[in-house]
Structure 1
Amino acid sequence: MRLLLPPQTVFAGLLAAFVGFASSFAVVLRGLLATGASPAEAASGLIALCMAQGLCALWLSARTRMPVSMAWSTPGAALLAASGAVEGGFPAAVGAFLVAGVLVVLAGWWRPLGRAVAAIPPTLANAMLAGVLLNLCLAPVRAVSLSPGPALAIVLTWAVAGRIHRLLAMPAAVAVTMLLVALQPGAAPLASGLPHPVWTWPAFTPAALVGVAVPLFIVTMASQNIPGIAVLSVNGFHPEPGPLFRASGVFSILAAPFGGHAVNLAAITAAICAGPDAHPDLAQRWKAAAVSGGAYVVLGLVAGVVTGFVGAAPLLVEAVAGLALLGALGGALQGAVAIPAEREAALVTFLVTASGLGFGGISGAFWGLLAGGALLAAIRLRARLGR
């Protein structure tokens, strides 16, 4: 009898949530504090984001029967950290978060955007995904360089368990990582008790709307939502983008008064739930995203404890995340160079994305896709003119 939730599917969902939370929660906290939030308001924002993205993933995955993974906007948090204090204080930042969410909802109603996303060539989408994944997949190598003993223990566990059975590799590596983190001196929770939501009444100032809301909207769409659709497409899922964008915007609006800056489609962690390691059957992979959503809700309830635990050894957490995404990286690289005529454009997309280029507050994923698309358009035009 087929299990309702196969172990590999449950593991993929839990791993996606763990990786998503552990890899960037510090950026979120730093960004919220930079805009003027108090420590309690920043912790509230982290709770709100976990709850919003978890419930949104549960809703969309169950509704679409596709592995729609959600995440907070890490590029958006980095943008907040770089922007600094907002005129009008944190209430003005919350007002900007609300407006950015409204703009995402409006973008979801604009059909040309959905058609533009659907028209992205698979080779370029694969190349962009590979560029996004490359830096995280290098984390095990960096970890071995900076912390040889623990990192080698994780890598060797992954390699040996994988030789016994491929599906044992990541559970074994995660178990060893959790043990090593628990042994770290700073593994005790950094906060006593459970943090609680803090309501902030929004204020709307021209400076915050222009300096925060609009850039946050652009970064979230270009660096997260559009790549998120591309990741699903690469793995054989082709949802209508508009409803997904609208849902992410609605949940962003709900999270904003509690300090959450933006919820969007996941890109990197989406590959864990949407890939073959979650389940061989495409029709079953939505359950991995649903498990991930449920895990985010739980993480939101215990955000203070989890933050203290994973913050004790972020390097080891990144290392196990990189190991988990090696398969996704290999598949993306193979898809990127599959068509010889588009290979050069795909390589440009990959290199620009992997370079970490940031311009105008928008990450390299968008610029890589733009550069590769421009080159591919030029190649196709030259081919037509040469006939």
Structure 2
Amino acid sequence: MSRSIFTDTSLSAVSAGFVAVLVGVASSIAIVFEAARAAGASEAMMVSWIGALGLGMGLTCILFSWYYRAPVITAWSTPGAALLATSLQGVSMSEAVGAFLFSAVLTLLLGLSGTFDKVTRKIPAPVASAMLAGILVQFGLSVFTSLQASPALVGAMLAAYLLGRRWLPRYAIILVLITGFVASWLLGLTHFEQIHWALSQPILVAPEFKLSTLFGVGLPLFIVTMTSQNIPGVATLRASGYERVPVSPVISGTGLASLLLTPFGGFAFNLAAITAVICTGPEAHPDPAKRYTAGIAAGIFYLLVGLGGVTVVSLFSAFPPALIASLAGLALIGTIGASLEGATRESDSREAALITFLVTASGASFLGIGSAFWGLVGGLASHWIFKRRD
């Protein structure tokens, strides 16, 4: 078995795993720190949070991807962290951990019930593809907004992408990555003096259960994670052709990981969407059956993030934001095109898919729930109305 993994692994798959982790951590690590600060976490506790989150994401990525032979990418709940950053004011760390455990138990029970899998399988493929395209389109646009702010850096990365796609399509993103690192160094945009060397040290916090915190923090955390993270995550797997991956065991696994690691700061794990796309597309490997190695590679890099803690975070912050934004956008261009094609291929579902895409891409948020969920709601409602019309 191990021999087949080594045989299936390619440089492009490892690169995809690295880019997924780089984008995932760099784009939202600040929100996690804000959530920890809101609960009164010390600097040592913040490092423990990163250690627990890296360990949880690393193990779940590796185990799920290996077992299902598919690039199953997990992540911490970014909208959940944003929710915590505003709702943990005045809440003790022990009470916060109690709320995290409550959310983890709800996730585990939902996964074991099989309800989530049954619901997501009723989502039409064009609507799922449209929601994915709506989520990703902002990342594609960020390449060109970053080009205006950092023309030399992003211009070099864009040129590397175009030339790579023309002559070395399998390694285009690797060329973009190397070009970005070299160009940022030559332009004096890197700040290696910000790097601090330190390993993560776990700190155990005993939970305290307070009814108002369970329903005021734990329940919203569960709802936001399910609607804003897991539903798009499932749509990503479906749209990428991995329908065979059973959702319920994966949801149960992320709930179990949260349950075990919450006392150390692993507040919520879920299926990834944006970073998952980097590992599920042809850029990771031309053979869909071998892209699971990108998921394993991402898991290994996540383990390094957890082990390195502050060191890894400071390393990411040493590079300019335009590099991270452009790298993500260029890595996702192919998937954006494939998602739009899947969304508009069937004429009888095209209007519903376009409504899904537009609502999701708008970024509109209602009741604290992100646009991906509302795009899905609007698309499903439109799909039902148009089918009734027929």
TM-score (norm 1): 0.94
Q: 1:228 to 1:76 in 2, by over 3 A?
A: same
Unaligned runs of 5+ in 2: none
Aligned residue number for residue 150 of structure 1? 153
- Out of 185, 204, 207, the position equivalent to 2:209 is 204
Tell me which amino acid in the other structure corresponds to 2:64. L
Aligned residue number for residue 296 of structure 2? 290
Equivalent positions of 1:75-114 (< 5 A) are 75-87=79-91, 89-114=92-117
Equivalent positions of 1:1-387 (< 5 A) are 3-87=7-91, 89-181=92-184, 183-184=188-189, 186-238=191-243, 239-312=245-318, 313-383=320-390
Alignment check: 8 A CA contact 1:188 1:309 kept: no
Q: 1:179 to 1:299 in 2, by over 3 A?
A: farther
> For this pair of structures, how many residues does the alignment match?
382
Residue by residue, what CA displacement relative to the aligned partner does 1:52-101 show, whole Å, maximum 9, x if unpaired? 011011111111112111111111111112324143x1111111111111
Residue by residue, what CA displacement relative to the aligned partner does 1:258-309 show, whole Å, maximum 9, x if unpaired? 1121111111111111122222222211111111111100121123122112
Q: 1:308 to 1:131 in 2, by over 3 A?
A: same
Q: Structure 2 CA distance, aligned partners of 1:159 and 1:250?
A: 43
Tell me which amino acid in the other structure corresponds to 1:116. V
Deviates more, 1:180-189 or 1:303-312: 180-189
Q: Structure 2 CA distance, aligned partners of 1:44 and 1:177?
A: 31
Q: Structure 1 CA distance, aligned partners of 2:363 and 2:90?
A: 26
Structure 1 residue 3, shift from structure 2 partner: 3.1
Q: Structure 1 CA distance, aligned partners of 2:171 and 2:282?
A: 15
Residue by residue, what CA displacement relative to the aligned partner does 1:222-242 show, whole Å, maximum 9, x if unpaired? 111121111111111112211
Structure 1 residue 314, shift from structure 2 partner: 2.1
Tell me which amino acid in the other structure corresponds to 1:316. L
Deviates more, 1:285-294 or 1:170-179: 170-179
Structure 2 SS opposite 1:264: strand
RMSD of equivalent CA atoms: 1.7
Structure 1 SS opposite 2:75: strand
Structure 1 residue 363, shift from structure 2 partner: 1.1
Alignment check: 8 A CA contact 2:16 2:294 kept: yes
Q: Structure 1 CA distance, aligned partners of 2:359 and 2:334?
A: 21
Residue by residue, what CA displacement relative to the aligned partner does 1:156-204 show, whole Å, maximum 9, x if unpaired? 2222233221123211111122234554353334434223222211111
Q: 1:337 to 1:261 in 2, by over 3 A?
A: same
Tell me which amino acid in the other structure corresponds to 1:145. Q
Structure 1 residue 355, shift from structure 2 partner: 1.0
Q: Structure 1 CA distance, aligned partners of 2:183 and 2:105?
A: 43
Structure 1 residue 217, shift from structure 2 partner: 0.3
Tell me which amino acid in the other structure corresponds to 2:39. T
Tell me which amino acid in the other structure corresponds to 1:341. D
Residue by residue, what CA displacement relative to the aligned partner does 1:78-136 show, whole Å, maximum 9, x if unpaired? 1112324143x111111111111111001102233211101110000000000110111
Q: Structure 1 CA distance, aligned partners of 2:30 and 2:145?
A: 19
